[in-house]
Amino acid sequence: MAQPLIKKDDDRDDEADYSPFLGIEKGAVLQEARVFNDPQLDPRRCSQVITKSLYLLNQGETFTKVEATEVFFAVTKLFQSRDLGLRRMVYLMIKELSPSADEVIIVTSSLMKDMNSKTDMYRANAIRVLCRITDGTLLTQIERYLKQAIVDKNPVVASAALVSGIHLLQTNPEIVKRWSNEVQEAVQSRAALVQFHALALLHQIRQNDRLAVSKLVTSLTKGTVRSPLAQCLLIRYTSQVMRESNPNTATGERPFFDYLESCLRHKAEMVIFEAARAITELSDVHTRELTPAITVLQLFLSSSKPVLRFAAVRTLNKVAMTHPMAVTNCNIDMESLISDQNRSIATLAITTLLKTGNESSVDRLMKQITNFMSDIADEFKIVVVEAIRSLCLKFPLKYRSLMNFLSNILREEGGFEYKKAIVDSIVILIRDIPDAKESGLFHLCEFIEDCEFTYLSTQILHFLGNEGPKTSDPSKYIRYIYNRVILENATVRASAVSTLAKFGALVDSLKPRIYVLLRRCLFDCDDEVRDRATLYLNMLVGDGSVVETGKDVKDFLFGSLNIPLINLETSLKNYEPSEEAFNIDSVPKEVKSQPLAEKKAPGKKQSALGAPPTAPTSSSDAYERILSAIPEFSTFGHLFKSSAPVELTEAETEYAVNVVKHIYDGHVVFQYNCTNTIPEQLLEDVMVVVDATEAEDFSETASKPLKSLPYDSPGQTFVAFEKPEGAILGKFSNVLKFNVKEVDPSTGEAEEDSVEDEYQLEDLEVVAADYVLRVGVSNFRNAWEGMGPDCERVDEYGLGVRESLAEAVSAVINILGMQPCEGTEVVPNNSRSHTCLLSGVFIGNVKVLVRLSFGIDGPKQVAMKLAVRSEDQAVSDAIHEIVSSG
């Protein structure tokens, strides 16, 4: 059998896989490198050997330190040859070997000779090589030549020096900064690329000097910049200057805007696009300013080049997030892109349309998407599903058609990730839109009738057990659940049994029927299913008769296991069978320092195709579990809210710390997430000392230090405060205290003795928004009417001069920390007045609804009428206090 297979391989090698490098080996090539030492150099042969070594390195082969040194020394011999081609390969090889400091000295003189050669090609390349491998001390020696090279009349030499300068600025800024006169001269060069490189370097030299950058931009935008690349740079710098300067408040004119607009008429597409993108990214961009940029992007949409279409649709997609109205003009072009060959373009077009669509166009859009969905890959489908989910949350009244769409695609073919995205979306819609609950649960039931993914089936059954019993007619779900018991694999059967028990426990009228069904499960062939059935039967039935469900049972069925599973697993493994029964209380509840789910890299941008941020997941559940597992905090009661992490350190400092504020009725717990970014250190007994002198109502009750904090493995330390009930505010200053031990990075072992040290963190405030949960309502008007005017309070406020209405609206939303409803957080352009609807839950579980009416007049004075309705007059007053003090 093996014989013909090998033969076939050989055949293929002969035909297609011919390669001049076939079968070459590192050892043999290193042998061959000896020709470099020949007294009579053969340039051709030497070039070939270098090419072979470069090929090996390029394929991922590595040279050991000794081998690299050997090759390096051999290569230096080749400077004797005057062959131009060979010299180029020598340069390449030296860069690739990145020699160490003592080796660099060997080639320095040869390279310096080349730097002053009459041949421009030598000069340019020698500069690049030398700057790549050099260090600070050597740089001072060659500085004079580099300054000359920058203003060399040969553009290749000038560019080489400038680009090297850009790299050297990272390591030796003080030296490169001395070249700015020469660089400035090079900016005026007639050679396009020299101008580009000079501009890039000049800006980097001056980037911390705002005035200088502003001057640079002012002079260049008036003059002529030849190269399109340099023009792109100038556009970037210009928009940077525009961001930092304030527009003329009286007329709303911005400096430099005319320049950006003129770039829209440039002949290079690269520049047109850069300018259009810069305009769309201006802060608080006005519709009047957007229009010309949108127009050129619209032209790009029908270009024959995929790259142009992609660039345009991606930019419009971003614009649609903030200014959906401005993009609607492109909708027709956008709709034709749904059938684009390039699926990235098609998906971006669809998600843009979903964002710009208004309530009335939803149905038509859905029809188009249905055709589109059948022929794209799963990963794009997921992006579309997420866009539809956020559309549905924006227009809750349209839930019917959107939910239908989701259930339809749920029935079609698809992989696990895709199906999971759909199921997650339906679950979120059920949670956030009460009206959608019954139909959503019904769709999920249909889905598990024919679902090939065990994981999804069990998730849905679990969700059904929690939500199903609370619906108007729980009995109709029983059939679907029991079908699982008959038809599925053991895992799903076991989970269905648990779901049945939950229905039995909560719905008394169903209890006798559930009892019968569970009895049948006693004869299942899987022991887990039988065990569960036996357990639940005993819980539901006392003394042979059907009884009221006790509190213990409900706790058991619906409560969460407040022990980390990993700890339970180790405890169970260590348990030795004996007379003494396993005691679950003996399991440690402490969470081992492990990265938390929310600890995402701060700079990490969200999904590339402009997917909307995923709806809030139940990370608060995770927090609650962690906190209640700590004995000191377990008595605080129900966790009301956990804030988003607030950074207490600048990015890229030695220790990164952020804090999550956990609010309870009578307590506040600060969870400090610390990361040690120094490999040479081990921190021990890490704690945060909090000074609460500016927060009189708070008194510290407990502090939980972190035993050890190794490099790059985040850990948490906690501090708890007692406070009176209600929304109490305060400001806290923090100092991180710890013992440092030196660690040898090569062995990872810490030294014995430690040094006490501390690290100042930024201040932290508990603000009113921390006491308000963002909870949406599906139909604001109904909720508002239902609440009634009993505890209503209305007042008017002047907000002073604001940049725009939209800015004022988002500022107020942020201060209140409430959930905008029905898409009212988006302010249409040019409108003079706006009404925004917010809902939330105030601490103490009081529902609050807010109706904000804004008006703006000529000189941008914004006035606001705030109407609050809640179940408690004191809470309505508290909301007004937030605004009047904020």
Partner 1 sequence: MVEGSCPFIKNILLLDSEGKRVAVKYYSDDWPTLNAKLAFEKSVFTKTQKTNARTEAEISMFENNIVVYKFIQDLHFFVTGGDNENELILATVLQGFYDAVALLLRGNVDKREALENLDLILLCLDEIVDGGMVLETDANVIAGKVASHSVDSAAPLSEQTISQALATAREHLTRSLLR
Q: How many CA atoms lie within 13 A of 865 on its CB side?
A: 9
Can you tell me which of 304, 472, 545, 583 binds partner 1, judged by CB under 8 A? Answer: 304
Q: Which stretch binds partner 1 (CB under 8 A): 76-84, 668-676, 715-723, 786-794?
A: 76-84
Q: Helix, strand or coil for residue 617?
A: coil
60 lines the binding site for partner 1 (CB under 8 A): yes
441-470 binders of partner 1 (CB under 8 A): none
Can you tell me which of 56, 72, 78, 203 binds partner 1, judged by CB under 8 A? Answer: 203
117 vs 635 by CB, closer to partner 1: 117
839 lines the binding site for partner 1 (CB under 8 A): no
207 vs 831 by CB, closer to partner 1: 207
293 vs 308 by CB, closer to partner 1: 308
Q: How far is CA 873 from the centre of its chain?
A: 40
Residue 21 C-beta: closest distance to partner 1, Å? 6
Q: Which stretch binds partner 1 (CB under 8 A): 152-160, 518-526, 633-641, 835-843?
A: 152-160
- For the chain, what is the radius of gyration of the CA atoms? 34
* Separation CA 406–CA 414 (nearest Å): 13
166 lines the binding site for partner 1 (CB under 8 A): yes
Q: Which stretch binds partner 1 (CB under 8 A): 108-116, 192-200, 665-673, 698-706?
A: 192-200
Name the maximum alpha-carbon separation found in the chain.
106
234-263 binders of partner 1 (CB under 8 A): 236-237, 240
Q: How many CA atoms lie within 13 A of 427 on its CB side?
A: 21
Tell me which amino acid residue 184 is.
Q
Phi/psi at 476 (5° precision): -70, -15
84 lines the binding site for partner 1 (CB under 8 A): yes
Q: Which stretch binds partner 1 (CB under 8 A): 158-166, 331-339, 641-649, 697-705?
A: 158-166
Q: How far is CA 754 from the centre of its chain?
A: 37
Q: Which long-range contacts (CB under 8 A, 24 or more apart) does 419-425 make?
A: 419/451, 419/453, 419/456, 420/453, 420/455, 420/456, 421/381, 421/382, 421/385, 421/386, 422/385, 423/447, 423/456, 423/459, 423/460, 425/385, 425/386, 425/388, 425/389, 425/392
Q: Would you say how long the chain is, in residues?
A: 886
CA 794 vs CA 381, 790, 810, 879, 880: distances in Å: 46, 12, 20, 11, 9
263 vs 687 by CB, closer to partner 1: 263
Closest CA to 796 of 869, 862, 870: 862
Can you tell me which of 8, 9, 13, 21 binds partner 1, judged by CB under 8 A? Answer: 21
Q: Which residues contact 377 (CB under 8 A, 6 or more apart)?
A: 343
Q: Which residues contact 155 (CB under 8 A, 6 or more apart)?
A: 189, 191, 193, 194
596-635 binders of partner 1 (CB under 8 A): 604-605, 608-609
Q: Which residues contact 780 (CB under 8 A, 6 or more apart)?
A: 821, 822, 837, 839, 849
* Separation CA 660–CA 558 (nearest Å): 27
Can you tell me which of 274, 424, 432, 822 binds partner 1, judged by CB under 8 A? Answer: 274
Q: Is 721 exposed, middle or buried (0-12, 13-18, 19+ CB in 10 A)?
A: buried
Residue 209 C-beta: closest distance to partner 1, Å? 14
206 lines the binding site for partner 1 (CB under 8 A): no
Residue 806 C-beta: closest distance to partner 1, Å? 24
47 lines the binding site for partner 1 (CB under 8 A): yes
Can you tell me which of 46, 197, 221, 242 binds partner 1, judged by CB under 8 A? Answer: 197
310 lines the binding site for partner 1 (CB under 8 A): yes
Place of tokens 């949406």: 776
Residue 83 C-beta: closest distance to partner 1, Å? 6
317 vs 499 by CB, closer to partner 1: 317
Can you tell me which of 314, 419, 443, 741 binds partner 1, judged by CB under 8 A? Answer: 314
Q: Which stretch binds partner 1 (CB under 8 A): 229-237, 495-503, 548-556, 771-779?
A: 229-237
238 vs 407 by CB, closer to partner 1: 238
Tell me which amino acid residue 837 is.
L
How many angstroms separate the first and last alpha carbons of the chain? Answer: 81
Can you tell me which of 24, 35, 112, 121 binds partner 1, judged by CB under 8 A? Answer: 121
Can you tell me which of 24, 26, 43, 395 binds partner 1, judged by CB under 8 A? Answer: 43
346 vs 683 by CB, closer to partner 1: 346
700-719 binders of partner 1 (CB under 8 A): none
Can you tell me which of 92, 321, 325, 611 binds partner 1, judged by CB under 8 A? Answer: 92
Supply 260's token pair: 């950006």
Size of the site for partner 1 (CB under 8 A): 70
235 vs 627 by CB, closer to partner 1: 235
Binding mask 551-590 for partner 1 (x = CB under 8 A): ----------------------------------------
Phi/psi at 674 (5° precision): -110, 145
Tell me which amino acid residue 522 is.
L
Q: Annotate 584-612 with b (16+ C-beta within 10 A) or e (fewer).
A: eeebebebebeebeeeeeeeeeeeebbbb
264 lines the binding site for partner 1 (CB under 8 A): no
CA 704 vs CA 438, 639, 719, 797: distances in Å: 45, 18, 6, 43
119 vs 374 by CB, closer to partner 1: 119
Q: Are the C-beta atoms of 89 and 123 separated by less than 8 Å?
A: no
Can you tell me which of 3, 64, 137, 170 binds partner 1, judged by CB under 8 A? Answer: 170
Q: Are the C-beta atoms of 435 and 399 separated by less than 8 Å?
A: yes
Residue 298 C-beta: closest distance to partner 1, Å? 16
Strand (E) or helix (H) holding 466: helix 454-467
Can you tell me which of 45, 132, 513, 599 binds partner 1, judged by CB under 8 A? Answer: 132
381 lines the binding site for partner 1 (CB under 8 A): no
Can you tell me which of 32, 143, 269, 807 binds partner 1, judged by CB under 8 A? Answer: 269
282 lines the binding site for partner 1 (CB under 8 A): no
- Enumerate binding residues for partner 1 (CB under 8 A): 18-21, 40, 43, 47, 50-51, 54-55, 58-60, 82-85, 88-89, 92, 95, 119-121, 128, 132, 154-156, 159-160, 163-164, 166-167, 170, 193, 196-197, 200, 203-204, 207, 229, 232-233, 236-237, 240, 269-270, 273-274, 277, 304-308, 310-311, 314, 341-342, 344, 604-605, 608-609
